[in-house]
């Protein structure tokens, strides 16, 4: 009786059209039998090198040149190659069966790897990586989309250019200018700053602004308590100072909250996790739980902040350095943003050299340069004594996939630390900071007056 494995191997030799469709998804590990795995490895290696199917004669020669098999295995492999006759078969059926075989084997291998992790034999991955291993195995499929044809897909490309990308806009005009209208979905956006400069302040302001735009906002904190984050958003939205919020009459407080609730149709959820204990697996479970219990689906996610997250895939210290670990966290957060179709905003600390620097750059990213390699937008927040006296903070573009990063490379915005807000400043405040080349291109949005703040 023919087995699917031998049918696959036979068609890989004799049916080049079939080979081109399935070889990108095949792995030698999918063949449990060692002899079949050896033959499949040689078939895949030859096709990768010459982009053609290997003949039985070529396979026999390549197998005989191997130094990792004994005489018995060599005989068995050559016998298998000789037996791989071609019988015409329905290709659509075979491709479907090959896909099912690959998925089944991928799941089986993932289960074996999971057992290795559970038993402590895998020193790199933690048990939290197991759901991700199984999820990747279950997602194995033969993608029929093999790319964008420049000439044949020109009409679709033209429609894409004319379409309006859905974004989450800032309430700060100059930030909208440099991002062509706001934060894109499926993106990772990072603020870089030293301790106490204002990373959490900026993220709390952005969360408040998104809520004021009737968006559903999920704010995950691992640095401050839930109540402290809510306090910062309260003083921002309720137009109170940090001292006032502690002394305001309960009736006035309730009145302002109710007035805000009537105007705002979004929802803000703040969730606290212990420092360095939570990863994207926990965040994913939280999102799914909120969907079921509160019918809450986030439009934007804030994680305060990236460096004190844990990695779902790796355990720090087990042969994993900070570069690899932080890059892994960044990749997982960006994956979460893609999975839930939201922009994700987080922050990172500057390194020792950048703490007192008045001109941060990518080399001042703490722990891992892999972070800026992964994110879509990276903005440095810079504070000096002079800027503090003016009630301003400088922002410098370090990376920008939305727009030309040389457009408004550096600029200032106003900052009100008492009310946890940032705001646009007059154009004259940019003099000496913005270069002469920073003129508004015709495709950039025109400046608008901010009307998003609630008035009390």
pLDDT, one tens digit per residue, over 20-52 is 889 988 999 999 999 999 999 999 999 999 989
Residue 106: pLDDT over 90 = yes
Report the C-alpha gap between 365 and 344 in whole angstroms: 19
Asked if residues 192 and 381 have their Cβ atoms less than 8 Å apart, the reply is yes
For 237-271, give the DSSP string: HTT--TTHHHHS-HHHHHHHHHHHHHH----EEEE
Q: Which helix (H) or strand (E) holds 78?
A: helix 71-83
Residue 452: pLDDT over 50: no
Give every CB contact of residue 180 below 8 A, 6+ residues apart in sequence.
Answer: 402, 403, 443, 444, 445
| Mean of pLDDT over the chain | 89
**Do 80 and 35 touch, CB atoms closer than 8 A?**
yes
* pLDDT average, residue stretch 256-283: 93
Instruction: With a cut of 60, say whether residue 449 has pLDDT above it.
Output: no
Report pLDDT digits (tens) over 327-347. Answer: 999 999 999 999 999 999 999
Indicate the burial class of 417 (C-beta count within 10 angstroms; 0-12, 13-18, 19 or more): middle
- Which domains does the chain show, CATH number per domain? 4-138 (1.10.860), 166-430 (3.40.50.300)
Indicate the burial class of 191 (C-beta count within 10 angstroms; 0-12, 13-18, 19 or more). buried
pLDDT for res 446: 42
**Beta-strand (E) ranges in 179-259?**
183-184, 187-193, 217-221
Kindly report, residue by residue over 53-89, the tens digit of the pLDDT.
Answer: 999 999 999 999 999 999 999 999 999 999 998 888 8
* Buried/exposed code over 239-251 (b: 16+ C-beta within 10 A; e: otherwise): bbeeeeeeebeee
- pLDDT tens for 400-423 read 999 999 889 999 999 999 999 999
68, burial (CB in 10 Å: exposed 0-12, middle 13-18, buried 19+) = exposed
Terminal Cα distance for the chain, rounded: 80
Q: What is the predicted pLDDT for the residue at 1?
A: 38
What was the pLDDT predicted at 195? 86
E strand or H helix that includes residue 39: helix 34-50
Predicted TM-score (pTM) above 0.75: no
Q: Which two tokens stand for residue 127?
A: 């048990």
């Amino acid at each position: 009786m023919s087995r699917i494995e031998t049918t696959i191997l036979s068609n890989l030799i004799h049916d080049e059209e079939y080979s081109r469709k399935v070889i990108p998804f095949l792995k030698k590990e999918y063949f449990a039998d060692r002899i079949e795995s050896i033959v499949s490895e040689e078939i895949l290696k030859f096709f990768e090198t010459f982009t053609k199917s290997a003949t039985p004669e070529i396979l026999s020669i390549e197998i005989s040149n191997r130094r990792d098999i004994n005489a018995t295995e060599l005989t068995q492999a050559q016998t298998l190659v000789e037996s791989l006759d071609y019988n015409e078969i329905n290709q659509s059926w075979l491709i479907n069966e090959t896909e099912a075989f690959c998925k089944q084997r991928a799941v089986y291998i993932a289960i074996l790897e999971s057992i290795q992790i559970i038993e402590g034999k895998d020193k790199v991955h933690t048990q939290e990586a197991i759901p991700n291993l199984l999820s990747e195995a279950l997602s194995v499929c033969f993608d029929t989309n093999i790319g964008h044809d420049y000439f044949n897909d020109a009409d679709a490309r033209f429609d894409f250019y004319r379409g309006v990308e859905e974004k989450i806009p800032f309430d700060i005009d100059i930030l909208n200018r440099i991002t062509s209208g706001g934060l894109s979905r499926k993106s990772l956006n990072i603020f870089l700053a030293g301790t106490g400069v204002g990373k959490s302040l900026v993220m709390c302001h952005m969360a408040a602004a998104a809520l004021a735009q009737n968006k559903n906002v999920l704010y995950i904190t691992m640095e401050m308590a839930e109540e402290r984050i809510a306090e910062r958003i309260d003083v921002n939205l309720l137009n109170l100072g940090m001292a006032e919020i502690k002394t305001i009459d309960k009736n006035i407080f309730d009145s302002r909250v109710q007035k805000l609730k009537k105007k705002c149709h979004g929802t803000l959820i703040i969730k606290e996790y212990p420092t360095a204990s939570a990863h994207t697996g926990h965040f994913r479970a939280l999102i799914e739980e909120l969907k079921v219990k509160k019918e809450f689906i986030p439009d934007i996610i804030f994680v305060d902040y990236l460096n004190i997250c844990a990695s779902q895939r790796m355990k720090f210290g087990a042969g994993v350095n900070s570069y690899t670990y932080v890059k892994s966290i960044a990749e997982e957060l960006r994956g979460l943003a893609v999975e839930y179709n939201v922009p994700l905003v987080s922050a990172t600390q500057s390194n020792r050299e950048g703490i007192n620097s008045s001109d941060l750059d990518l080399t001042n990213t703490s722990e891992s340069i892999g972070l800026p390699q992964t994110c879509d937008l990276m903005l440095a927040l810079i504070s000096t004594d002079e800027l503090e006296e003016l009630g301003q903070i400088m922002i410098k573009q370090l990376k920008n996939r939305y727009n030309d990063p040389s457009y408004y490379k550096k600029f200032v915005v106003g900052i009100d630390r008492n009310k946890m807000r940032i705001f646009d400043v007059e154009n004259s405040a940019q003099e000496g900071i913005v270069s002469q080349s920073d003129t508004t291109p015709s495709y950039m949005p025109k400046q608008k007056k901010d009307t998003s703040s609630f008035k009390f």
